[in-house]
Amino acid sequence: MLKGFREFILRGNLVELAVAVVIGTAFAAMVTAFTQSLITPLIAAIGSEPDFSALSFTVNGSRFRYGVFINALISFLIVAGVVFFFVVKPLNTLTERQKAGLAAGEETRTCPECMSEIPVRARRCAFCTAEVETAA
């Protein structure tokens, strides 16, 4: 039972995913600190407010802190922009190039794991990353 658990934990995809989550969390914290320390004070200086995150209004005794929300929104937009331009866009370009290579007449076969079309000479599936035997 422990051997199976150890094999599960040490699988490549699971370890890579764990590393990605840790790095992503650290990156999000860094962007949040950057937003709170540099971006929003600049915006606050333009609006003549000493602390942008302290911006709020009160209705019937309830305090609405919209400055904190704007901090979070700016942080989200920065993280989303980085993910789009440094992960999604390059991956889409790579996938399009790969499809163009397949359309140019390269022979393909079906991946036994995810049933995607992969080149005959591939040793690893580009879609599910499963190792596949090379065709003879």
The domain that holds 85 is classified in CATH as 1.10.1200.120
Looking at the structure, tell me whether residues 9 and 52 fall in a common domain: yes
Residue 103, pLDDT > 70, answer no
Looking at the structure, tell me whether residues 118 and 82 fall in a common domain: no
Rounded percentage of the chain residues whose pLDDT exceeds 70: 90
Q: Does residue 117 contact residue 97 with C-beta atoms inside 8 Å?
A: no
Taking the complete model, does pTM exceed 0.75, yes or no?
no
**DSSP for residue 106:** -
Q: Does residue 115 contact residue 109 with C-beta atoms inside 8 Å?
A: no
Domain extent, residue 40, equals 2-105
Looking at the structure, tell me whether residues 75 and 130 fall in a common domain: no
Which residue is listed with tokens 């040793």?
123
Residue 136, pLDDT > 70, answer no
Count: domains in the chain: 2
Looking at the structure, tell me whether residues 11 and 46 fall in a common domain: yes
Q: How many CB atoms lie within 10 A of CB 114?
A: 13
Looking at the structure, tell me whether residues 58 and 122 fall in a common domain: no
- Pick from 109, 102, 111: which is nearest to 131 by CA? 111
